[in-house]
Amino acid sequence: MSPHETEALDASTLAGWIGRSETVHDQVGATPVLALAATLDHPAADAPAGTPLPPLWHWLYFLPRHRQSEIGADGHAKRGGFLPPVPLPRRMWAGGRFAFHAPLRVGDAIARTSTIEDVQVKHGRTGALVFVTVRHEVRRNDETAPAIVEHHDIVYRAAQQPGDVPPPPQAAETGAPWQREIVPDDVLLFRYSALTFNGHRIHYDRKYVTEVEGYPGLIVHGPLIATLLMDLLRRQAPAAEVAGFRFKAVRPTFDLHPFRVNGAPSADGKTVRLWAQDHEGWLTMDAVATLR
């Protein structure tokens, strides 16, 4: 790492982004709802005004609007705008926590206020790591109280080096009462990237992801896996009302093999444990939904 990059990774330098805030506005349109429903393989249905969005489907809105000239080599916006200018090349969605206070509905005027809540520099086995936490508050129709509060955890990593050894995998729990197999083909990944206007090349550019970032295949979006976990809950318990959700990405999932999403409701019916596993049975995402 160059002296410039070392300086940029100093915690006191990046801490200057803590407290930065921005607000963007949008409207809940029906077309993205219908498109995601089709992508998740639900039967065709209408989404008239007033239709509530399932949890996490707010990710269909507040899409990035960076000009093409502002896009970096990895397909993301160049560093140093709202997010801190972390020089590490690999950026991943590490996890998130959500409080769902009220549903967003088709036709709602919505606003999202995002604030950089924390920036931490750490050093792991494979080098420097930077963790950024962004708090999003989503409001509908000029209401004072947020309908959704989300904490979004982002991790930046150094480029993979020859000889890097991945952390030991963790076996996923077996015998889940709820299970669904997912085939992460190129079309599924493309459609989700398009719906969320996600230009990150690790999800669609096989040459880039294998030759530049050193992964064996296209990476399945963390938010897509989280959405599939919540979709499993919706399929198995359609009347359930979700009050909160948290997820943590444990291990990358690649498009080379099918993977499975699993769920297990608690005995008291207050929570549902949700997790994803790869074709070898390794845990890739761990989550918990809290019900009202």
In this prediction, residue 80 carries a pLDDT of 67
3-state helix, strand, coil in the chain (%, to 5): 20, 35, 45
In this prediction, residue 282 carries a pLDDT of 98
CB distance 282 to 172 below 8 Å: yes
Nearest to 113 by CA among 19, 22, 218, 6: 22
What dihedral angle (degrees, nearest 10) is formed by the CA atoms of 197, 203, 204, 209? Answer: 140
Write out residues in the chain with pLDDT < 70, as ranges. Answer: 1-10, 80, 126, 163
In this prediction, residue 82 carries a pLDDT of 86
Q: Distances in Å between the alpha carbon of 230 and those of 44, 78, 159, 160? A: 19, 31, 32, 32
Residues in the chain: 292
In this prediction, residue 79 carries a pLDDT of 72
In this prediction, residue 210 carries a pLDDT of 94
- The token duo for 109 is 């005027």
Number of helices (H), then strands (E), in the chain: 6, 10
CB distance 245 to 230 below 8 Å: yes
Q: Is 59 helix (H, G, I), strand (E, B) or coil?
A: helix
Q: Distances in Å between the alpha carbon of 273 and those of 145, 183, 266? A: 28, 22, 7
| Measured distance CA(260)–CA(184) in Å, rounded | 10
Query: β-pairing, 259-265 with 271-277?
Result: antiparallel
CB distance 84 to 119 below 8 Å: yes
Q: Distances in Å between the alpha carbon of 250 and those of 74, 81, 95, 190, 246? A: 22, 28, 9, 23, 13
Q: Is 73 helix (H, G, I), strand (E, B) or coil?
A: coil
In this prediction, residue 26 carries a pLDDT of 98
Is the four-CA dihedral 198, 204, 209, 212 of positive or negative sign?
Answer: negative
Helix (H) or strand (E) holding 99: strand 90-100
Q: Which amino acid is at 157?
A: R
In this prediction, residue 126 carries a pLDDT of 67
